[in-house]
């Protein structure tokens, strides 16, 4: 079977001398892995359209045991990001996160739209990196089976508190008075941060990147979303560690 789909290249690995294995976030089929023939007889356009962070139109031969890229034509190339070490680190973290969290073979149009929007804003510098990071981390978590419950205090049901404890392990909030789980994996969050988290969960994707906070607010938000996703996935990401070591303080 041969399929045609738009997709973003999330990961590339060299396999032997003749092949690369690329991981794609496709528009309609979730995560798809496929081999690309290296050099030799392969066309150079195929090579450039199948590199990390390329958004391309792919023709893929779906095999019984392995898939192979037959053709690829670049639509948008985020090479400009490679000039900026902080931006490229963040972009690579986004790709690692989605490659880890997104299910294979599922409908993935919304996930792809979020990624393309985030890369677009990262590329043109019109949104703060910390805002993009918070949106991608939290919305991707929600879409991939890690949706927290942020409507009200998990203990007493209060909805009007000024400060809440966000319990990263159980994915719930509770008022400071109610305590709830305090095993270390939690933060005390303001109503501003809580509003932003709720916005990221509920917003239509066309408006997802449109909310605003102070620079300090985005930093706090990004710290909260990072701790939530890392706690939920129970793993670290090399690109995230690198981003945190190079970002402007």
Instruction: Give the interface with Zn ion as residue ranges (CB under 5 A).
Output: 153, 155-156, 158, 175, 178
Tokens of 233: 């996935």
- The gap between the terminal CA atoms of the chain, to the nearest Å, is 50
Whichever of 169 and 205 has its CB closer to Zn ion, that residue is 169
The least CB distance from residue 201 to Zn ion, in Å, is: 20
Q: How many CB atoms lie within 10 A of CB 238?
A: 11
> Would you tell me the crossing angle of helices 85-101 and 215-233 to the nearest 10 degrees?
40
The least CB distance from residue 153 to Zn ion, in Å, is: 3
Helix (H), strand (E) at residue 158 = none
Whichever of 102 and 175 has its CB closer to Zn ion, that residue is 175
In 3D, which of 159, 161, 115, 137 has the Cα closest to residue 227? 137
Whichever of 100 and 158 has its CB closer to Zn ion, that residue is 158
Whichever of 178 and 239 has its CB closer to Zn ion, that residue is 178
The least CB distance from residue 130 to Zn ion, in Å, is: 29
Tokens of 92: 């690579």
CA atoms within 13 A on the CB side of 235: 9
The least CB distance from residue 1 to Zn ion, in Å, is: 54
């Amino acid at each position: 079977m041969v399929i045609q789909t738009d997709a973003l290249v999330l990961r590339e690995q060299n396999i032997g001398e003749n092949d690369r294995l690329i991981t794609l976030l496709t528009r309609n089929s979730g995560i798809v892995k496929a081999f690309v023939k290296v050099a030799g007889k392969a066309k150079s356009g195929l090579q450039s359209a199948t590199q990390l962070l390329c958004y391309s139109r792919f023709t893929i031969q779906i095999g019984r045991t392995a898939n192979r890229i037959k053709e690829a034509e670049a639509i948008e190339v985020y090479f400009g990001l490679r000039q900026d070490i902080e931006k490229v680190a963040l972009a690579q973290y986004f790709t690692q996160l989605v490659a880890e969290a997104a299910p294979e073979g599922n409908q993935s149009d919304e996930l792809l739209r979020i990624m393309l929007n985030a890369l677009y804003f990262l590329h043109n510098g019109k949104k703060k990196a910390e805002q993009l990071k918070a949106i991608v981390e939290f919305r991707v978590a929600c879409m991939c089976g890690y949706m927290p419950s942020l409507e009200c205090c998990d203990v007493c049901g209060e909805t009007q508190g000024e400060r809440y404890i966000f319990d990263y392990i159980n994915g719930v909030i509770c008022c400071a008075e109610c305590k709830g789980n305090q095993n270390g994996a939690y933060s005390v969050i303001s109503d501003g941060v809580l509003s932003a988290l709720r916005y990221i969960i509920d917003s239509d994707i066309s408006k997802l990147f449109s909310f605003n906070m102070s620079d300090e607010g985005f930093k706090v938000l990004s710290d909260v979303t990072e701790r939530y996703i890392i706690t939920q996935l129970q793993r670290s990401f090399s690109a995230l560690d690198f981003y945190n070591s190079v970002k402007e303080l």
